[in-house]
Amino acid sequence: MNRRFKYRFKTLEEFESEFGDNWRAVKCSFAYEMNYLLGTDVDYECYKDELINDELSSESVFQVGGEPGSGYRGWNISSQMVKKIKIGPSYEPRKFIY
- Do residues 15 and 23 make contact, with C-beta atoms less than 8 angstroms apart? yes
Residue 54 backbone class (left: φ over 0; alpha: ψ -120 to 50; beta: rest)? left
From 40, 45, 94, select the one nearest 67 (Cα to Cα): 40
- Do residues 66 and 75 make contact, with C-beta atoms less than 8 angstroms apart? yes
Which is higher by pLDDT, 77 or 90? 77
Which is higher by pLDDT, 57 or 85? 85
Reported confidence tier of residue 73, pLDDT bands at 50, 70, 90: low
pLDDT the model gives residue 39: 92
* pLDDT tens per residue, range 20-59: 888 887 766 777 888 888 998 888 877 777 776 666 776 6
Mean pLDDT in the chain? 78
Reported confidence tier of residue 63, pLDDT bands at 50, 70, 90: confident
Residue partners of 86: CB distance under 8 A and separation at least 6: 4, 5
